[in-house]
Amino acid sequence: MASIYLCGPTVVVPPHIGQIRSQVNFDILHRWLRHSGYRVLFCRNVTDIEDKIIGRSLSEGIQWWRITDPVYRSFDRAYTTLGCLPPSVEPRATGHIPEMIELVEQLLAAGHAYESEGNVYFEVDSFPDYGSLSRQRPEKIRITEENEHGKRDPRDFALWKRAKPGEPIWHAPWGDGRPGWHLECSAMARKYLGREFDIHGGGANLIFPHHENELAQSRAAGDSFARFWVHNGPVTHRGEKIRKHALNPLAVHTLLDRVRPMELRYYLAAAHYRSPMEFSVAAVEEAATAYRRMERFVLRVGAAAGSDLPAQFSDAMDGDLNVPRALSVAHATVAEGHAALNSGDQESAAVKCRSVRAMLNVLGLDPLADDRPRETRLHDVARAVLRVARNLAATEGDHERSMIMERQIDRALQNRRESALIP
């Protein structure tokens, strides 16, 4: 059995490419562990109460849950569309306030936290290991929270925030308010995975302060917490972090106008999970072309998926999940398969096809997999129809009809996407 806790999204706007990268990377880890014979207990949380959510709710004058629920569904849809396996459990922060209160009480009792004017803070100085995960010396810790009243030390962070006018509140022994962001993961990891678990994952941007704070809270409360930490690199655009805003050109549903779900998944999977990725349309299209090359071969031969993986592929996956190297093994096998086809050797081509499908299955990229999500199949069919219609009209030399058809199909796709993805 292997247990994984992955920090999930803050559901404030629909997912962008950087957020979905983390899910694809960890989905591949999930699949690889399963393939390696582990039963996997996979917990991915949903942050449904946080400053940005409250900010949007106050500025739009609607309840917080009228933002989080539809946005949660857009994330869920994006995960499914990109072929991510569902987690074993997907707890929401607001459903675990009693667990968080219990943890705060333990930290208060153990002298690692203090109450001040209705707020509760974690006392960084009380935990000598603070800074070890993000490799910062205690005296040089970066300050990330505004210095609210009553904090003893600017490095201390909020476990519980006192109620402010207009904000959602929950009752707690030290006063009404809401939990600090970091607290939820410590409480939910303990509830679902126990006091010690195998892998804690998330984006590298979460190492500090989020994961440093989770680690401090959990260890200070007596939990061993994660045995290993795995962090994926960021996706940047023009050298900058991708921001969360409602009309994001790098939103997953917008990018799916350009490429099919499996092509987008291939793009995200093809870089090593730890490497930063600089987003460009050209790179996405290049990835789509590479994926189609493999897809064409598999569709042409159509042999059943094998279960044996080439040793080089397995070595690459065991070597810190080296997907780029694993994919190069798959591409080389496709090239051998094409060569076999060209020389009329159908039997060898079928052997290669079985091997390619076994490899692509592990990566969640098999074009013929039985477990491909319905959403993905529909999307693929729609794009294929669009291509056929365009080619047909073009061969007939009827430019105008081609344009009308293309517009109609695009509109149909657009409508379906909007109803499906945009809250």
Question: Which residues here bind Zn ion, judged by CB under 5 A?
Answer: 7, 185
279 CB-near residues (< 8 Å, 6+ apart):
17, 235, 236, 237, 242, 250
Q: How far out from the chain centre does Cα 407 lie?
A: 32
Nearest approach in angstroms of CB 353 to Zn ion is 41
**Nearer Cβ to Zn ion, position 185 or 365?**
185
**Nearer Cβ to Zn ion, position 13 or 189?**
189
Task: Decide if 226 contacts 251 (C-beta within 8 A).
Answer: no
**Nearer Cβ to Zn ion, position 185 or 255?**
185
**Nearer Cβ to Zn ion, position 185 or 326?**
185
Nearest approach in angstroms of CB 182 to Zn ion is 7
Count of Cβ atoms closer than 10 Å to residue 281 Cβ = 11
71 CB-near residues (< 8 Å, 6+ apart):
11, 12, 13, 14, 423
Q: Closest Cα to residue 57, out of 68, 46, 70?
A: 68
**Nearer Cβ to Zn ion, position 122 or 291?**
122
Nearest approach in angstroms of CB 184 to Zn ion is 7
Nearest approach in angstroms of CB 357 to Zn ion is 35
Q: How far apart are CA 419 and CA 249, in angstroms?
A: 18
Nearest approach in angstroms of CB 102 to Zn ion is 18
**Nearer Cβ to Zn ion, position 8 or 337?**
8
Nearest approach in angstroms of CB 228 to Zn ion is 15
Nearest approach in angstroms of CB 10 to Zn ion is 10
| Beta bridge mates, 114 | 121
The H or E element containing residue 285 is helix 281-301
Q: How far apart are CA 350 and CA 339, in angstroms?
A: 12
Nearest approach in angstroms of CB 382 to Zn ion is 36
Q: How far apart are CA 329 and CA 312, in angstroms?
A: 7
Nearest approach in angstroms of CB 202 to Zn ion is 6
> Is residue 209 reached through a cis peptide bond, with omega within 30 degrees of 0 on the bond before it?
yes
Task: Decide if 259 contacts 272 (C-beta within 8 A).
Answer: no
**Nearer Cβ to Zn ion, position 134 or 348?**
134
Nearest approach in angstroms of CB 210 to Zn ion is 5
Strand extents, DSSP E, 147-189: 157-162, 177-179
DSSP state of 129: T
Task: Decide if 94 contacts 64 (C-beta within 8 A).
Answer: no
98 CB-near residues (< 8 Å, 6+ apart):
none
Q: What phi, psi does 74 have (nearest 5°)? A: -70, -35
**Nearer Cβ to Zn ion, position 185 or 353?**
185
Q: Closest Cα to residue 306, out of 335, 327, 330?
A: 330
The H or E element containing residue 252 is helix 252-255
**Nearer Cβ to Zn ion, position 189 or 405?**
189
**Nearer Cβ to Zn ion, position 43 or 262?**
43
Do β-strands 240-241 and 119-122 pair in parallel, antiparallel, or remain unpaired?
Answer: unpaired
DSSP state of 46: B
